[in-house]
Structure 1
Amino acid sequence: MRPTSQPTSASPDAPALRGGTILLLAALYCAQGLPSGLIAHALPVMLRQHGVDLAVIGALKLIALPWMLKVLWAPWIDRLSSRRLGHHRGWILPMQAAVLAGLAAVAMLPPDALFGPWLPVFLGLLLLLNLAAATQDVAADGLAVRLLPARWRGLGNSLQVGGYKAGMIVGGSLLLLVVEPLGWRTSIGLLAGLVALMAVPVLLFPEQRRLPRLAPLDEPAGPALLWRHYRGFLARPGVGAWLLVVLLYKLGDAVGSPMIKPMLVDQGWTSAALGRLTLVSSAAGIGGAVLGGLVYARLGAVRSLAAFGLLQAAGIAAMAWLAGGAPVQAVYAVALFEQVADAMSTVALFAVMMDRCRAGHEGGDYTFQACLQVLAAGAAGAFSGVAASALGYGGHFVLAGLLGVPAIVLAAHGGWRGMETAPAVSAPAR
């Protein structure tokens, strides 16, 4: 790899979103969701079925460390590129190949060995798989920022959120349904096959034509790049106000959502019933992501952030209505509303995060914001059980809804709009 060059600029208000771009972004983020669904949803169930200790299952969270630490190497992904494959493809294709290799290795070993004497090796493979997926994500986010016209970044993030959720459903819920009748090796092999299929649009993407290189950037890719990169991001006007929005925007959801399933379990919901609810609400979330992108294109950044944030706060607060017990239909209605509102707010936040990226620093700038949001949400979510125990489920969800109000006020105020935005880059079709 070699230092990449300054991207070209185009009008951020380009009127159309290419069909090829839609397919490319949907495939990229679905490919990330497939192994994530395996690790987050399917593995905990299968590990417990094989008698693995709960402490080990809880430690699966540590496998996600690359997703939180990717901010440390993201600037180099912006600076280095492949002469033959192009900047973003030069990172995405090798990382997808590494994910495929990891899944192939997992498929070759029997589950009795993986969940038994080979468990440390298995967890090590999953850690490497997450490292590859997190690195690919930086390049994919940078590619999305450069490709998407500013007006359509909401819809672009609908593809990101919806594609990822679809991958999570297939790699998690559906994998659990097929692993017994098809067997471990076939099921994981099919998962790997889907990841390979998602790489086809990346292989066909003419990056050198769509995103041509110009003069090299002055910023060298040396050891001090990390400091220079983020110092430049933090020095811009309005960045403090914006990062406060990033920190607070999903705080209420982070506090409230971990307690939804425990509340329903305490009300007598079975695992099968919760599985059906999760599947239906996840599908509703995909629809909410698409709706959020379309509405974002009409409302713009400030009004979308405020309006969708209000829906998100209302959705999590509405869970308090279920705390004393409610009919199944009421639970589904509230859960679906909460998932749609959550997806819409996520789309708005991610779209504005794209707008806050500097040209030539898209992957690193977006990753910095995303990691900040994930860390804030993780820290808040860690205290959700304490709050629910102290306040009861009803009081807990009311508190979670109120925690979303400061971010709504800050988003509506718009003091963060002084940060320059990254233009989309797209060469004319040939």
Structure 2
Amino acid sequence: MNIKQNLINIWTHLANKRMLVCVFTGMASGMPLYVLFQYMPAWFRDEGIDLKTIGLMAFIQLPYVWKFVWAPAMDRFVLPFLGRRKGWLFVTQLAVAVMLAGLSFFTPNTGLTAIVVLCVGIAFFSASQDIVIDAYRRELLPDEELGLGSSFHVNAYRLSVLIPVTLGLTLADHFAWGLVHWVLAGFMVLAALVTIIIPEPEQTFATPVSIREATVGAFQEFFRRSGWKPALVILAFLFFYKLGDNFAVALSTPFYLDLGFTKTEIGTVAKFAGLWASIAGSIVGGFLMIPLGIYRSLWVFGVVQIVSILGFAWLARAGNDTTVLFWVISFEYIGVGLGTVALMAFMAKISNRQFTATQFALLSTLATLPRVLASASSGYLVEGLNEETAPWIETAFRWFHIPMEGFGWENYFYFSFFAAIPGMVMLFWVAPWNGDTSVLDKLGK
């Protein structure tokens, strides 16, 4: 009887329009990031740009880190069309489309500065879109659907890689890069049109009456809820939980190219692996989070996530083998997708609905910061230092006993594996297996 009732409950949550909306928001949110994170490095590498420059380009993603700065404005102000959340969502999506189209007028070798400016614009409006989407999803879903809704959102987010990478790189093998940029811009215009027809969440809380209330009030509520020590532990956990994973995937596309895979192979074999794995991860993650709950899911999914990193080291040793590439990417998409699902549900659960945009932006910023750090340093960790390296980078290498000549690909992925361990250890305080929050609460005393 319990099994039958659980199946009925699961089906009730699955068979509603809210899950379909979560799929849409995930696709719209993920595509601009994958343009910056995987499509742009492939474009640059194809044009002969070196790995260190590609790695440093990760700093264009800094708006994802600082988005909590302007998030209060999206809690405080309502645009005069479409509603409190949908209005901002529509504007940010159109802005990303314009910036993507603008890339078609430049090439990395002759217009790098202009491309960087446009990419910063894409990152800013994409990060702003994420602020709105996170708040929208938190306000749309009841608490019991946060895990499942996050599963649909995150896996759709990862599926969106198929647009800039699978479709984009395959088209780039046959057409000019500038034409591909226009195709990607078209997808963001389509997202803006879909935004018009999705429902606006029902508002059951008071809108902040000033920027000060939206900003200071949101931070005060978070840090006073159970004390400043638990708050700091939670923030540290959000930084470390996906640190190893972020290192592992920071230069994945250049890694595949260096192993000798063609852009078409990367766009088909590698990303097809991501397709089935993301679908499987969505189904498995969504079903498991209902009986496991958010805390235990962080443990179980985190273990799968950390083990999946070792697959990259296996691929580095195997070399140009499409079969190994397929299975490594499949496992990576399952592991990373599951870990992200649990983390997103955790952040949603601890966000106050009155300050959704601001608090969720702060929490997701801490989860995003390692991605920028990993991307910016990954090229140096793989290839090592040279005479043009900044002194502070050389000091960091000596401090952490990193070889000056670099790790090389295989050892770099072992480094990524060990970088994931601190986040798992912190689960003893943040998400005890038995669900007992007293361990975390005691930190505030």
Shorter-normalised TM range: 0.7 to 0.9
Q: Percent identity?
A: 25
Residue among 400, 404, 407 paired with 2:426: 407
SS at match of 2:432: helix
Shift of 1:258: 4.8
Aligned to 1:221: 211
Aligned to 1:33: 30
Larger RCO (CA under 8 A, 6+ residues apart): 1
Quick check: 246-255 or 145-154, which moved more? 246-255
CA offset digits 1:273-319 (Å, max 9, x no partner) = 55555313422441213421221122111111111112223333465
User: CA 1:281–1:143 in 2, change beyond 3 Å: closer, same or farther?
Assistant: same
Residue among 300, 306, 320 paired with 1:313: 306
Aligned to 1:80: 77
2: CA distance, partners of 1:274 / 1:191: 18
Number of aligned residue pairs: give it: 399
Trace 1:129-140 onto structure 2 (pairs within 5 A): 129-140=122-133
8 Å contact 1:253–1:312 — kept in the other structure?
yes
What RMSD, in angstroms, separates the aligned Cα atoms of the two structures?
Answer: 3.6
Q: Give the letter for the 1:154 counterpart.
A: G
1:278 equivalent to 2:270? Answer yes
1: CA distance, partners of 2:413 / 2:30: 32
1: CA distance, partners of 2:116 / 2:261: 29
Trace 1:209-358 onto structure 2 (pairs within 5 A): 210-212=201-203, 215-217=206-208, 220-222=210-212, 225-237=214-226, 238-258=230-250, 269-271=260-262, 278-287=270-279, 288-317=281-310, 325=318, 329=323, 332-358=326-352
User: CA 1:184–1:261 in 2, change beyond 3 Å: closer, same or farther?
Assistant: closer
CA offset digits 1:67-101 (Å, max 9, x no partner) = 11111111221121124321101211111121222
1:22 equivalent to 2:19? Answer yes
1:57 equivalent to 2:57? Answer no
User: CA 1:132–1:320 in 2, change beyond 3 Å: closer, same or farther?
Assistant: closer
Q: Give the letter for the 2:432 counterpart.
A: A
Shift of 1:175: 0.9
2: CA distance, partners of 1:348 / 1:47: 33
Aligned to 1:427: none
8 Å contact 2:147–2:286 — kept in the other structure?
yes
Q: Unaligned stretches of 5+ in structure 2?
A: 1-9, 383-401
SS at match of 1:81: coil
8 Å contact 2:309–2:416 — kept in the other structure?
yes
Shift of 1:188: 2.7
2: CA distance, partners of 1:83 / 1:270: 50
Q: Give the letter for the 1:286 counterpart.
A: S
User: CA 1:348–1:231 in 2, change beyond 3 Å: closer, same or farther?
Assistant: same
Trace 1:18-167 onto structure 2 (pairs within 5 A): 19-52=16-49, 56-107=53-104, 109=105, 113-167=106-160
CA offset digits 1:122-165 (Å, max 9, x no partner) = 32122112211111110111000011122222221223222222
2: CA distance, partners of 1:19 / 1:123: 41
Quick check: 159-168 or 399-408, which moved more? 399-408
CA offset digits 1:243-274 (Å, max 9, x no partner) = 343233223323445587888788x5534555
Aligned to 2:407: 389
CA offset digits 1:36-82 (Å, max 9, x no partner) = 33332233333343445655434421221111111111122112112
8 Å contact 2:76–2:214 — kept in the other structure?
no
TM-score by length of 2: 0.76
CA offset digits 1:9-49 (Å, max 9, x no partner) = xxxx9964664323333222312333333332233333343
8 Å contact 2:38–2:253 — kept in the other structure?
no
1: CA distance, partners of 2:25 / 2:183: 17
Residue among 343, 354, 359 paired with 1:360: 354
8 Å contact 2:309–2:413 — kept in the other structure?
no
Q: Give the letter for the 1:250 counterpart.
A: K
User: CA 1:169–1:336 in 2, change beyond 3 Å: closer, same or farther?
Assistant: same
Q: Give the letter for the 2:41 counterpart.
A: P
TM-score by length of 1: 0.79
2: CA distance, partners of 1:299 / 1:284: 23
1:372 equivalent to 2:366? Answer yes
2: CA distance, partners of 1:66 / 1:322: 32
2: CA distance, partners of 1:397 / 1:215: 44
Q: Unaligned stretches of 5+ in structure 1?
A: 1-12, 421-430
User: CA 1:349–1:169 in 2, change beyond 3 Å: closer, same or farther?
Assistant: same
1: CA distance, partners of 2:251 / 2:123: 26
8 Å contact 1:233–1:365 — kept in the other structure?
yes
CA offset digits 1:108-129 (Å, max 9, x no partner) = x3xxx44354432232122112
